[in-house]
């Protein structure tokens, strides 16, 4: 986990998700998504502007506690990421290629639009030492086109 703060950072990004498969029963709805995303993070650190670009690709499992995929849901994804900088703020990563992990709670509206709160974690999963983490929380809006 991350031990140094990047709480003053500004994050913006885009995401593309593709529904791979879904399963519904009387009490639950499960969906597997393929997801690719790009995030740009800026931070003022030691009187200079630092930038971090993150590209990630991962499968995502979404669970709705209803028979239809509407309303509240929980989500988890694990995949691969590329970070453009090993240093960002006080954080020094040992690799630019990392695992990407996220957990989210969200709500899907009848229009298909989604609003979620997401926790994201990036690290090398001890494939290299040291293994500092890079974490951030975000509010995400997804719109259907």
Domain annotation covers residue 4: no
- Burial classification of residue 40, based on how many CB atoms lie within 10 Å of its CB (0-12 exposed, 13-18 middle, 19 or more buried): middle
User: Per-residue pLDDT tens for 69-111?
Assistant: 999 999 999 999 999 988 888 888 888 999 999 999 999 999 9
CATH code, domain with 78: 2.40.160.20
Contact indicator for 15, 58 with CB cutoff of 8 Å:
no
Domain annotation covers residue 30: no
Give SS3 for 84: coil
Domain annotation covers residue 134: yes
pLDDT at 5: 53
pLDDT at 62: 98
pLDDT at 60: 98
Domain annotation covers residue 6: no
Contact indicator for 41, 11 with CB cutoff of 8 Å:
yes
pLDDT at 110: 93
Domain annotation covers residue 111: yes
Domain annotation covers residue 124: yes
Domain that holds residue 116: 35-142
Residues 6 or more apart whose Cβ sits within 8 Å of residue 129: 94
**How many domains does the chain contain in total?**
1
pLDDT at 143: 87
User: Per-residue pLDDT tens for 1-55?
Assistant: 444 455 677 888 899 999 999 999 889 999 999 999 999 999 888 888 889 999 9
Domain annotation covers residue 23: no
Domain annotation covers residue 9: no
pLDDT at 46: 83
pLDDT at 1: 45
pLDDT at 2: 44
């Amino acid at each position: 986990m991350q031990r140094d703060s990047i709480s003053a950072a500004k994050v913006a990004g885009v995401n593309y998700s593709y529904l791979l498969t879904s399963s519904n029963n009387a009490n639950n709805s499960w969906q597997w998504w393929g997801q690719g995303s790009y995030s740009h993070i800026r931070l003022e650190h030691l009187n200079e502007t630092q930038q971090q670009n993150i590209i990630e690709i991962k499968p995502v499992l979404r669970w709705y506690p209803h028979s239809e995929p509407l309303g509240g849901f929980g989500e988890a994804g694990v995949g691969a990421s590329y970070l453009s900088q090993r240093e960002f703020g006080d954080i020094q990563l040992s690799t630019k290629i990392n695992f990407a992990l996220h957990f989210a709670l969200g709500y899907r509206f009848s229009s298909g639009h989604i609003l979620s709160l997401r926790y994201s974690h990036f690290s090398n999963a001890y494939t290299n030492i040291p293994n500092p983490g890079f974490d951030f929380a975000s509010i995400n809006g997804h719109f259907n086109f």
